[in-house]
Amino acid sequence: MATVRILLDYRPALRQRSGVGEYVHQLARALVRPSASSRAHTSPGSSPDAVELFTSSWKDRPDPAALAQLDGIARVVDRRVPVRLLNASWHRLQWPPVELLAGRSYDVVHSPHPLLMPARRAARVVTIHDLDFLLHPERTRDEIQRDYPAFVRRHAHAADAVVVPSACVRGRVVETLGVPEERIVVCPEGGPDWQPEPGTPPGNPGGRYVLFLGTLEPRKNVAGLLEAYAALCTRRPDTPPLVLAGRAIGDADRWLELIARPPLAGRVEYRGYVPDADRRALYLGARALVLPSFEEGFGLPVVEAMTLGVPVIASNRGALPEVSGGAALLVDPDDRGTISYALEQVLFDAELARRLGERGLHRSHAFSWDRTAALTREAYEAAIERKKGRA
C-alpha cells in the first residue's frame, strides 16, 4: 500500500502523561519506529507512512525530551489555540477542519479519545478507552462529564473506524452505542521494554511497599483501597507501607486529608505524578501492585507491573480479568474485606507472590506497542476504505 499520511492528536500527552496521554505517546513512538510492523505494509522501495502530531494549547508546548523519543516524526503541528475553546468548537460544531489548522491534507486523522477530530476529506478514527463516563457520569468532571455523554454516540457512528483496547470495551460499544462490530478494531495497549532486575526472583520479595499507580479519581476506588489497607494494618501491624502515585484530581483532596490522619498517618505516602524516567524504579520497589478500580478499559499499570514480575491484585471488573489473563489475584471492588484479605495473602504468602510474579512475567509477553501500532495501522486502512466507500 502507498504511504499513508496520518495525523494523530497528541494533545493528551502535552502535560503529565497518564492514561490517554501515555497511550498516544507510546502509539506515536511505535508507529514511527523503523522496526514497527506498520512498515511491513509498505512494499519494497516505497516510502514509510508519514506520521504527524497535532498539538494545540495556549500555554503547553510539546516536551522536547518526549519528542526526542519519536525519531521519524515528519512534522509537529503546534497551534496556540486554547484547548477548551478548540474542543468546544470541535465537539459541538465539528469545525474548523483539522486540515485548515494544519495547512495540509491527510489520509486519516486519529483522535485518542471518543470525540472526533473534524476533517474535510480524511478518514476519521476515534479510540474509546471505556464507557465509564457514560454509565457513571458522577465519577467524571469538567469537559468529560459535559461533552462525552452528549456526543459519544453521534461521533462513534460518524467515525470510519473505532479503536478499543479490549474485547470488553468492544462489547460495551456494540451494546451501549449500537456501533456495528465490523467497524470496531481491538488494539490492546502495549507494555514497556523493561527487564526484571538480575537476581530478583518473580514476586519481588525485596519490595518495600504496596503500590497503587493511577490518577486519584473516584473510578479508581481509592476510598475502598484505603479502607481495606487500614483494616489490614489493624490485623497485621507489620504490613508494608502503601504508596499512592498519580495525579490528584476531583475528590482527591479528601483522600489526601484521610492519609494525613490516624490510622493511616505515617503508613501511606502520596508521591504525586511519577515521570516516565522514574516509573520502572517505582515498580521495582513494590512488593505488589493493587488496582481495585470499578472500571478499566485496559489497565496499563497491570501490564507494567507484570513486566517486572511484580504480583498484581486487580479488580474483577471491566477489562482487568481479560488483560491479566489469570496472572492476577482478582477482587470485588465493592467488597473491601476481600481487597484487604487479598493484600494480606500476597504480602504474607511468599509462594503465592512468587506464582503470581511468574504468571505475570509470562502474560506480559502478550503485549507490545509494536503490536498495538500494527493493529492500529490496520484500523487506519479499514477506515480509509470505508471513507472511500461513502464518498
pLDDT (tens digit per residue) in 90-107: 998 899 999 999 999 999
Range of the domain at 270: 209-364
Q: What average pLDDT does range 151-171 have in this prediction?
A: 97
pLDDT digits (tens, 9 = 90+) for 184-216: 999 999 999 999 989 889 999 999 999 999 999
Cell 472500571, located at residue: 295
25 and 162 in a single domain? The answer is yes
Residue 195 lies in a domain: no
Task: Look up the pTM and report it.
Answer: 0.92
244 and 164 in a single domain? The answer is no
pLDDT digits (tens, 9 = 90+) for 20-75: 889 999 999 999 876 544 444 545 444 578 899 998 877 766 677 666 666 656 57
168 and 19 in a single domain? The answer is yes
Residue 197 lies in a domain: no
DSSP class per residue in 41-52? GSPTTPPPPEEE
21 and 166 in a single domain? The answer is yes
Tell me the chain's radius of gyration from C-alpha atoms: 21
17 and 35 in a single domain? The answer is yes
118 and 236 in a single domain? The answer is no
216 and 102 in a single domain? The answer is no
How far apart CA 321 and CA 330 sit, in angstroms, is 7
375 and 358 in a single domain? The answer is no
How far apart CA 340 and CA 322 sit, in angstroms, is 23
375 and 275 in a single domain? The answer is no
25 and 113 in a single domain? The answer is yes
Contact 271, 214 (CB under 8 A): no
Residue 84 lies in a domain: yes
Residue 301 lies in a domain: yes
151 and 33 in a single domain? The answer is yes
* pLDDT score, position 261: 93
Average pLDDT over all residues of the chain: 91
How far apart CA 269 and CA 241 sit, in angstroms, is 8
Taking alpha carbons only, the member of 390, 379, 297 closest to residue 109 is 379
Taking alpha carbons only, the member of 297, 366, 383, 294 closest to residue 327 is 366
